[in-house]
Amino acid sequence: MTFAGTPDRVESRLVPEAGFPLDTFPVSGLPRRPSAAQLRAAWRASAAPAHCLRILRRRRPDVVLGAGGYVAGPMVLAARLRGIPAALTEADAHLGLANRLAAPFARRLFLAYEIPDRRGAKVRVVGRPIPRAHLVGSRESGRALFGLPPAGPVVGVFGAYAGALSINMMAIDAWAASGPAVIHQAGARDFELVRSRVARDDYVVIEATDDFGELLRCVDLAVSRAGGTVWELAAAGTPAILVPYPHATADHQTLNARHFERGGGAVVVPDTDVERVPALVDELLAAPERLAAMREAMLSLARPDAADVVADELVALARGGS
């Protein structure tokens, strides 16, 4: 298995660290407003399929999987030109522009959520693949690992990989000095700010962790954005208050969050109302039967086998399946 991506984004670090070959080519997102950056992006986009054709000639894959975004489109198009079966994944409840453009060239479209105008023989609703390492852990081992009290309620606050300032500030304003035990993943940008405001031992602040499965399973209730983490929360059976990122394209985080709210595993709070969250946390922690029902609902919504389903379909495509 090999990967392709851009030389200036996170995959240029993560893929080699994981031990896989990475081919890079220049491509970037297309700004919506006219500008010099838009012209540069358009030029790169027009040249990208040729770069991808060279990569495919060298690697000679049996099947290509595009993970969405502006990197995937040129590669899926190049695969179509070379007669190599290709598939696309969409992680959110809204099909992004790049995937909409690339979908006609793909044999399979793997969706995390049902999307009303995307049905048909090549569409599979599979959930979002989750790293295997995030599917393990327990309440007891997670609390020991992060130095949390072994008994009593723990609230998890997940401020996204880079940071989610409104959630991070709400949490430290509410609980930095008193309240339930907290494990707060603040993200790279806000880590020092959050850590400097905390004044008690049972409020643990981390920037990020490789033991995310343990983190998810050691909390009684999570406060989180509604990106890919929602599927990991579901797999762990973690009840959640979801505060969607308000500037996500097509408000797709709200669409993601509503899926889990309709299923009974989460409560959605708009970012503009984030100050409601502490009172809602108190309300839910005081209602163990409701939390238990939310936990069961999250588990029923989970799709922990998504990666296996996608892998099996890709193998079938590589073997000549239609």
**Domain at 107, CATH number:** 3.40.50.2000
Domain count, the chain: 2
Top pLDDT among 235 and 119 is at 235
- Written as six digits, the tokens of 257 are 């969050």
Residue 33 is predicted with a pLDDT of: 72
Per the model's pLDDT, the better-predicted residue between 159 and 86 turns out to be: 86
Residue with the larger pLDDT of the pair 117 and 317: 317
3-class secondary structure, 185? strand
Q: 277-285 and 165-175 are packed helices; what angle lies between their axes, rounded to 10 degrees? A: 60
**Section 189-201 average pLDDT:** 93
Q: Provide the pLDDT for residue 39.
A: 72
Instruction: Name the band, by pLDDT with cuts 50, 70 and 90, for residue 246.
Output: very high
pLDDT for 253 equals 95
In terms of domains, do 119 and 169 share one? no
Provide the pLDDT for residue 322.
Answer: 65
Q: Let me know whether 242 and 257 are in one domain.
A: yes
Residue 75 reports pLDDT greater than 70: yes
Scanning the structure block, which residue is given the tokens 């040249």?
47
The pLDDT score that the predictor gives to residue 32 is 65
Smallest CA-to-CA distance from 87 within 55, 120, 59, 65 is with 65
DSSP string, 98-151: HHHHHGGG-SEEEESS--TT--STTEEE------GGGG---HHHHHHHHT--SS
Assess whether 99 and 178 both reside in one domain.
Answer: no
Pick the residue with more confidence: 228 or 161?
A: 228
Burial 217-233 (b: 16+ CB within 10 A, else e): bbbbbbbbbbbebbbbb
DSSP 8-state class, residue 220:
S
CB-based burial label for 316 (10 Å; 0-12, 13-18, 19+)? middle
Question: Does one domain contain both 110 and 165?
Answer: no
Confidence of residue 161 (pLDDT cuts 50, 70, 90): low
**Do 121 and 140 reside in the same domain of the chain?**
no
What was the pLDDT predicted at 10?
84
Give the SS3 label for residue 44. Answer: helix
One domain for residues 243 and 118: no
284 lies in the same domain as 151: yes
When pLDDT is averaged across residues 285-312 and rounded to a whole number, the result is: 97
- The CA dihedral of 215, 221, 225, 228, to the nearest 10 degrees, is 50
Mean pLDDT of 25-44: 73
Asked whether residue 90 falls in the same domain as residue 36, the answer is: yes
163 pLDDT band, cuts 50/70/90, is low
Name the residue type at position 77: L
Tell me how far apart the alpha carbons of residues 310 and 128 are, in angstroms, rounded to a whole number: 10
pLDDT given for residue 287 in this prediction: 97
Cα 79 to Cα 73, 75, 86, 190, 197: the distances in Å are: 10, 6, 6, 41, 51
The answer on pLDDT for 4 being more than 70 is yes
- Judge if 93 and 138 occupy the same domain: no
Percent of the chain with pLDDT over 70: 96
Is residue 105 domain-shared with residue 215, that is, in the same domain? no
Domain with 12, as residue range(s), is 3-128+305-318
Query: Do 154 and 271 sit in the same domain of this protein?
Result: yes
